[in-house]
Structure 1
Amino acid sequence: MRFITKIFAVIQGLIVVLVTLSATQAFAHGEKAQQPALRMRTVHWFDVDVSTRKLDVNQILVVKGSFIPSLSWPAHVASIENTAFLNVGVPGPSFVRLDSRVNGVPGIRSTSFKRGERYDFEMTLKARKPGRYHLHPIINVKDAGPMIGPGLWVEVKGNPAAFENSIKTLFGQELDLETYGFSNAAGWSALWFVLGLVWFGYWLTKVPLILPRFRRASALGENADDMITTTDRRVALGILMVTLLLIAGGFFYATERWPVTTPLQTGKIETPPLPREPSPVLVHMDDARYRIPGRSFRIELTVTNSGKGPLNIGEFASGGLRFINSAVLKVTPKDQDDLVAQDALRVEGGPIKPGETKKIVVYADDAMWETQRMTTMIASPDAVVAGMLFFFDAQGNRYPVEISGPMIPLFGG
């Protein structure tokens, strides 16, 4: 028996060690856990960045960027055009959000976003706790969950005890939001807990207890109510009256103590998309194939250039991954976990001349397809992929275009 006890102790110790090690290594959030269809066909994020990578407690961090809800939104996923909310993902209460805006509209309430339209967002955060955090912009979609944007590492230093989170009310009262209302909430919680203990304790004094009474009630059938005595009914009525009096008394006290209140912002606001900028490029995806052994994405396109100068493809972005054509665009990764393949985009067909319609082939080849768990897109029932192509002219102007269509996996060659 002692031997078995020691074995269980060793197993428990190993479990604790493994859990601890896994917790220390879980730096990022889990965007890789999302299905490729969600990452590729829901929200296209780009130009996401933060105002600083290092700051102290109480300092301000601004997160900016743009996103376009995909025209190829999966039919089985609740639509972003119904109800959505811009949020930020970070481990624990590490920051306090002071403000968030989408196309200049305050984001304190839910809204909706139209597919295929562009939105610029900005979130203002205040550092609360020291640490190194992987921060993500997120759009929470009702009945679908979070659509996670690219992650950015942010380091916060300083003394957590020095954090300040105070506001001034309409009546000039200074409130510390870190402690305001805590004693009130704790008092009410303790009161309801005591009342529950009284009710539970009364029934514990009854003999027989739960299981014998259950058997007796099952045996009595329709006459089980005879087990409830007059004293039981009086105690139940007393507990009910105390509960109702506490609720009514608390309501009238709160109304008298705080006559002017603001209701929770549960409404929904409209966020108009940005005006569409004229684009000289029109793209149709003719064919898409992913070659599994070489981790190579091959896309055939028909491109029409109605502009006045030649156009080149500088970037292909899909599922949070960025593949760069170094001959057109120079991109420096923001940190070691920035999902940028600097020289992984190859274009066959050359520049698209003004007034020209031609077929070109784009190759996005990099191990990120596998390391970021995007290769499971071959298991998608509809096998549809989507992404953003960024065209550039000689003046450096950028023209983003979404492409989407069926994908054929290749298992050899």
Structure 2
Amino acid sequence: MRIGRAALSAIVLGAIAVSAGTVWAHGERSQEPFLRMRTITFYDTEWSKSKVKPGETMDLTGKFHTFSEWPQAVNTPESIFLHFSVPGPSMLKKEAWMNGMPVINATSTILGGDYDYRMVLMGRVTGTYHVHPMVNIAGGGPLVGGGQFVTVDGDWTGFQNNVATIDGSTVNMENHGLGRIIGWWGFWVVIGLFWLLYWIKRPFLRRVFQVGVVPEEQLVSSGDKTVAVVLMVATVLIVSIGYVTTNSAYPITIPLQAGRMDTPELAPTTAFTPYAHATIKARPITAIYTVPGRSLGMLVEIKNGSNRPQQLGGFITANLQFREPSMFPDSRLKVKVEPNGPIAPGQTVQLTIDATDAEWEYQRLAELIYDSDSRYGGLLEFFDADKNRQIVEVGGPVIPSFEGGATAMTGGGKWRPTTQYK
């Protein structure tokens, strides 16, 4: 059974009301581990600013990868919509781009593809908010990436969201057509209240109990029928007149776009090679998650099909990025690789990859061992001598361990308990 829109929406950010204050939220942690590890992996996410004023813009950029072994419980990303997640309308999206193409409406992706994105966001309501990249999947709901706090600082009383229309005029989307909307809303509320009060004044409940007991003409009088006919005719006339007047007031309109565009995969460059074009192949042999040690250990067979030596420099999963300390000494999350060092062109080796940190527990990713399909997923980062990077997908079943620490041994896929986490 596939997870529907309502089910996934319920596990995303809970705060929907906007208040002029600080909003504390980490909505990505509320999603199940398999959603964050084996659907869409966000990486290289950057926020150009941590503080903006109302009306000031910032860029939210990065990349995301659609996992090849997509979970059967989630609709595949054949139609997605790129957006961002904040509590309520505290910020606005002014532009959105994927792989250099503007994405105004829905777009398609393929499994195993990598896509870079750029969104131009504008501050609106004063406060501090956790800003996330987000991909909405048709029939599946939103998938949220890691977030960062962004402060909207300043008075937003006179905020304007000006948009240039196709006829050259400029409108403020904050209040454009607001008077007409309130007028029509108020008018139909009056009509509805009149209809409701009319039947309340006529003893409605008493006549309900008389159905089938007294003749029909005594339940609904000719006056009742006259009022109903007058209201029906008036409603049709009012809607028709409203349509004509609105069409004459706004003669140039564009309907809501329901089409879908196709976004090509991210093309390889010298500095970055996406998974679909990677010359390095990874075959998972076994993996174990040690609960007391908060450690994911993997034994993976790597074949270097490139013409340059490649070294494993990182492991990305969910919103965590573990880095090899000799290559990235400033990285907070570290991965241990044995044997460590460059892999020669054409060489095939088995690597022990050990990603250990309390973030597994803090980010609620340790719960993957309780899934009905206990599998991990992530991206391996390989670098050559010039720091050119290749992204390689890896994933497979994971075995839980409750005995101390554990790490993989090269050769045979055996596991040995260690004391490194005591």
Asked if TM exceeds 0.5, the reply is yes
CA-to-partner distance for each residue in 1:293-334, whole Å, 9 max, x for gaps?
1111110000111234432221111111122211122455xx
Structure 2: distance between partners of 1:269 and 1:226: 61
User: Shift of residue 248 of structure 1?
Assistant: 0.7
Asked whether the equivalents of residues 21 and 128 of structure 2 are also in contact (C-alpha less than 8 Å), the reply is no
Structure 2: distance between partners of 1:271 and 1:398: 23
Q: How does 1:325-404 map to 2 (within 5 A)?
A: 325-331=324-330, 342-351=332-341, 352-404=343-395
Asked whether the equivalents of residues 324 and 331 of structure 1 are also in contact (C-alpha less than 8 Å), the reply is no
Residue 414 of structure 2 is matched in structure 1 by none
Q: Does 1:55 align with 2:52?
A: yes
Asked whether the equivalents of residues 126 and 153 of structure 2 are also in contact (C-alpha less than 8 Å), the reply is yes
Counterpart residue type for residue 31 of structure 2: Q
Residue 316 of structure 2 is matched in structure 1 by 317
Asked whether the equivalents of residues 80 and 114 of structure 1 are also in contact (C-alpha less than 8 Å), the reply is yes
* RMSD, matched Cα: 2.0
Residue 64 of structure 2 is matched in structure 1 by 67
Residue 89 of structure 2 is matched in structure 1 by 93
Asked whether the equivalents of residues 48 and 66 of structure 1 are also in contact (C-alpha less than 8 Å), the reply is yes
Q: What secondary structure sits across from 2:82 in the alignment? A: strand
Q: What secondary structure sits across from 1:216 in the alignment? A: coil
Structure 2: distance between partners of 1:28 and 1:314: 31
Give the TM-score taking structure 2 as reference length. 0.85
User: Shift of residue 262 of structure 1?
Assistant: 1.1
Counterpart residue type for residue 192 of structure 2: G
> Structure 1 stretches of 5 or more lacking a match?
1-22, 333-341
User: Shift of residue 52 of structure 1?
Assistant: 1.5
Counterpart residue type for residue 216 of structure 1: Q
Give the TM-score taking structure 1 as reference length. 0.87
CA-to-partner distance for each residue in 1:124-172, whole Å, 9 max, x for gaps?
1121122211100100011111110110221221221242222333333
* CA spacing shift, 1:167–1:309, aligned 2, 3 Å: closer
Bigger shift: 27-36 or 161-170? 161-170
Asked whether the equivalents of residues 313 and 328 of structure 1 are also in contact (C-alpha less than 8 Å), the reply is no
Residue 35 of structure 1 is matched in structure 2 by 32
Asked whether the equivalents of residues 57 and 162 of structure 1 are also in contact (C-alpha less than 8 Å), the reply is no
User: Shift of residue 199 of structure 1?
Assistant: 0.3
Structure 2: distance between partners of 1:381 and 1:224: 60
Asked whether the equivalents of residues 146 and 319 of structure 2 are also in contact (C-alpha less than 8 Å), the reply is yes
Counterpart residue type for residue 360 of structure 2: W
Q: How does 1:58-207 map to 2 (within 5 A)?
A: 58-81=55-78, 83-207=79-203
Counterpart residue type for residue 193 of structure 1: V
User: Shift of residue 25 of structure 1?
Assistant: 8.5
Residue 42 of structure 2 is matched in structure 1 by 45
User: Shift of residue 224 of structure 1?
Assistant: 5.8
Asked whether the equivalents of residues 44 and 387 of structure 1 are also in contact (C-alpha less than 8 Å), the reply is yes
Structure 2: distance between partners of 1:96 and 1:291: 42
User: Shift of residue 116 of structure 1?
Assistant: 0.7
Residue 271 of structure 1 is matched in structure 2 by 263
* CA spacing shift, 1:267–1:279, aligned 2, 3 Å: closer
Q: What secondary structure sits across from 2:149 in the alignment? A: strand
Q: What secondary structure sits across from 2:106 in the alignment? A: coil
Q: How does 1:17-28 map to 2 (within 5 A)?
A: 27-28=24-25
* CA spacing shift, 1:87–1:331, aligned 2, 3 Å: farther
Q: What secondary structure sits across from 2:157 in the alignment? A: helix
Structure 2: distance between partners of 1:358 and 1:136: 37
The percentage of aligned residue pairs carrying the same residue is: 34
Q: How does 1:278-289 map to 2 (within 5 A)?
A: 278-289=277-288
Residue 16 of structure 1 is matched in structure 2 by none
Structure 2: distance between partners of 1:331 and 1:153: 22
Residue 5 of structure 1 is matched in structure 2 by none
Counterpart residue type for residue 374 of structure 2: A
Bigger shift: 343-352 or 146-155? 343-352
User: Shift of residue 343 of structure 1?
Assistant: 4.5
Residue 295 of structure 2 is matched in structure 1 by 296
Q: What secondary structure sits across from 2:108 in the alignment? A: coil
Counterpart residue type for residue 160 of structure 1: W
Q: Does 1:216 align with 2:210?
A: yes
